[in-house]
Amino acid sequence: MGRLTTHVLDTALGRPGAGMDLALYRVKPAGGREKLGDFRTNADGRCDRPLLEGAAFTAGTYELVFEAGAYFERTGQTLPEPKFLDQVTLRFGMAAPDQHYHVPLLLSPYAYSTYRGS
């Protein structure tokens, strides 16, 4: 059965993005979005359980919204106001609900990247 997972890596500090809050949304075809859950990363920068799995895991467009600005403040990183990155939103599609989709976030105060991991 398919599932969705994530992992946050703080590339500025060279360690997992521990304690980052994030939310998962399903984007509705007619517009808008539906919130599916709130999560927080553990000491390894991962969530303790899949963000989506089982019958709830369906093909469609989704968004992960990472609270990067609050994370940077909590980790003592000095940033200008307003922050260059505050909320980082990743919109992606999942076409095969029988597969594992891993959507990591590599993050610093001034850049981020993602990819479909395994």
Question: pTM of the entire structure?
Answer: 0.96
* pLDDT recorded at residue 1: 79
CATH of the domain at 92: 2.60.40.180
Sheet holding 21-27, edge to edge: 33-40, 21-27, 60-67, 87-94
Structural domain that includes position 83: 3-114
* pLDDT recorded at residue 29: 92
* pLDDT recorded at residue 90: 98
Sign of CA dihedral 94, 99, 100, 106: negative
pLDDT per residue, tens digit, the chain (118 aa), is: 799 999 999 999 999 999 999 999 999 999 999 999 999 999 999 999 999 999 999 999 999 999 999 999 999 998 999 999 999 999 999 999 999 999 999 999 999 999 999 8
* pLDDT recorded at residue 118: 85
* pLDDT recorded at residue 108: 97
How many structural domains compose the chain?
1
* pLDDT recorded at residue 72: 97
Q: How far apart are CA 78 and CA 67, in angstroms?
A: 16
